[in-house]
Amino acid sequence: MKELSPETLRIRLYEMFAGYAEGEPTGIHYDEEFSMDDWFGRRPDEIGLAYVGIHGDSWNEAVTVAVREEKGSLAISSVQWGRP
């Protein structure tokens, strides 16, 4: 995955709901039940996958984030934007 800057991540977040809702994100919801350390399509360098809900006053969305280990640090290896 090419490097995503914080600004690019912010833009992609707002693109998820901009077409049908207004307002700012007001919270996130993470439940360990929706994380995995083994899944179909997992690459050898990936160590975890998490589904995280993001919501505003009038909308709900989510992202699925895969994380990899890189030189002793954690990095995002992929992001799936929006609810399935």
**What pLDDT is attached to residue 84?**
67
Residue 46 CA to residue 33 CA, distance in Å, equals 18
Query: How confident is the model at residue 52, as a pLDDT?
Result: 95
Phi first, then psi: give them for residue 8, nearest 5 degrees.
-65, -40
* Contacting residues for 39 by C-beta, under 8 A, at least 6 apart: 49
For the record, the structure tokens of 36 come out as 């995995």
Checking if the pLDDT of 4 tops 70, the result is: yes
Confidence of residue 25 (pLDDT cuts 50, 70, 90): very high
Q: Judge residue 14's burial from the number of C-beta atoms within 10 Å of its C-beta, 0-12 exposed, 13-18 middle, 19 or more buried.
A: exposed
What is the value of pTM for the model shown? 0.82
Cα separation, 38 vs 11, whole angstroms: 29
Decide if pLDDT at 19 tops 90. Answer: no
Residue 13 pLDDT > 70 = yes
Q: Give start and end residues of each alpha helix (H) in 1-84.
A: 6-17
- The pLDDT assigned to 41 comes to 92
Q: What's the whole-number average pLDDT of the chain?
A: 90
